[in-house]
Amino acid sequence: MALVEMVMPKMGESIMEGTVLKWLKNVGDTIEQDESVLEVATDKVDTEVPAIQGGILKEILVKEGDVVAVGAPIAIISTGGDDTAAPAAPAAAEAPGAAPQAASAQTATASSGASVAKLDQPASGRFYSPLVLNIAREEGISMQELEYVPGTGNEGRVTKKDILAYLESRTGAPAQAAAAPQAQPQTQVQAPAAAPAPAAQPQAAAPQVKPAASYGGNVEMIEMDRMRKMIADRMVDSKRISPHVTSFVEADVTNLVNWRNKWKDVYKKREGENLTFTPIFIDAIAKAIKDFPMINVSVDGGTIIRHKDINIGMAVALPSGNLIVPNIKNADQLNLNGLTKKVNDLANRGRMNKLTPDDLAGGTYTVSNVGSFGNVMGTPIIMQPQVAIMAVGAIKKKPAVIETPEGDLIGIRHFMFLSHSYDHRVVDGSLGGMFVRRVADYLENFDINTTI
């Protein structure tokens, strides 16, 4: 029989590692090619990983909860061939673009097997992913120094971003680390005093444990799931990074409502799908971005990056109550029918947990339909590293003054609020206000004769 090495696949741009959530197959199970073998979580989405070949799952190389670098081996599949081998070539094909990193990680592991085992289990009990350990080895960062690198990941875990940021500011770090040993020789008694220094590490974890009695009364303790913790961290980071300003505009969308009422049953019968307001909102936003391209930017330190692609994210509510934001790539290049198809596809796959990391990557602007929950307006939080997000509220009937050549009349119209939150570091009130006003103009002037 031939043994085939299954590796952690590349699951999207900029994703270099994944956390094994759950093995769907056990050792000895027969699996078909492309059958899901395990669930993996990245910093963008949870997804199932299929088998690269059919056969028998002979060995599982990583445990649930392990963080595995892209391209690293995760399992051995026994196929029906005559040769006995564990070729790495098929594994490299599984994750194009990640092979050099995987190869370097595996080479480092082979050359220093004993030291790697020690690095994976530091004295403090702090966990480091294979990718972080590999970067530390290549940059000459000792385990003792690694203990002092602040982590922003789950449970204080050091991420790739954390260690790269540390390397940028490392000029003074070794000097500080070396300063303590030089100060200790003042007396012999002080020499062991440096040992308790890593004890400062558990201070970050201490606040997590709190007696239920301290909350008082009749309470229920609910542990956040992984996605909720990730959302919480990102929202806090966004408020810390971006000074938020929100502008509001009320739009008369009577023509738009009347048009949809005319077409929704026709579209449902013809396409078997719902015609919602969301693709129409996205179409108006894409047009306004073309008019105001400096809203389609992100910030990297002191540099503004203007994106030429218009990739609009749409917030989707999951059955768990969490939100996920898939993106419509090049939304400005799709007609209304194309946008409707894309919106329905992403929303359906999001609710079924079938989105891929690429569905969630590359967004340049986001819209959140708070009106779907009956809310008339909201103040949304920006999706980093974007600089703006729009919330569209519920459409309500209101009496309004209608100007006619014969004079003003009172009529019943359909109105909605648009709430535009933007990053005041790079988007001033004039741009933020003009942009949301332009979106409202496109919605108010919707052509009732549009076909779909």
The residue from 162, 233, 424, 441 that is catalytic is 424
> What is d(CA 419, CA 436) in angstroms, rounded to the nearest whole number?
8
Q: Specify whether 414 is catalytic.
A: no
> What is d(CA 320, CA 34) in angstroms, rounded to the nearest whole number?
27
The residue from 29, 237, 291, 428 that is catalytic is 428
* Angle value at C-alpha 247, between 244 and 249, nearest 5 degrees: 155
> What is d(CA 372, CA 391) in angstroms, rounded to the nearest whole number?
11
> What is d(CA 433, CA 322) in angstroms, rounded to the nearest whole number?
30
Amino acid at 444: E
SS (H, E, C) the chain: CCEEEEECCCCCCCCCEEEEEEECCCCCCEECCCCEEEEEECCCCEEEEECCCCEEEEEECCCCCCEEECCCEEEEEECCCCCCCCCCHHHHHHCCCCHHHHHHHHHHHHHCHHHHHHHHCCCCCCCCCHHHHHHHHHHCCCHHHHCCCCCCCHHHCCCHHHHHHHHHCCCCHHHHHHHHHHHHHHCCCCHHHHCCHHHHHHHHCHHHCCCHHHHCCCCCCCCCCHHHHHHHHHHHHHHHHCCEEEEEEEEECHHHHHHHHHHHHHHHHHHCCCCCCHHHHHHHHHHHHHHCHHHCEEEECCEEEECCCCCEEECEECCCCCEECCEECCHHHCCHHHHHHHHHHHHHHHHCCCCCHHHHCCCCEEEECHHHHCCCCCCCCCCCCECEEEEECCCEEEEEEEEECCEEEEEEEEEEEEEEEEECCCCCHHHHHHHHHHHHHHHHCCCCCCCC
Contact status, residue 311 vs residue 331, Cβ threshold 8 Å? yes
Q: Which of 346, 357, 363 shows the shortest CA–CA distance to 285?
A: 363
The pairing of beta strand 388-392 with beta strand 365-368: parallel
> What is d(CA 287, CA 332) in angstroms, rounded to the nearest whole number?
7
Q: Specify whether 424 is catalytic.
A: yes
Amino acid at 166: Y
Residues that are catalytic: 424, 428
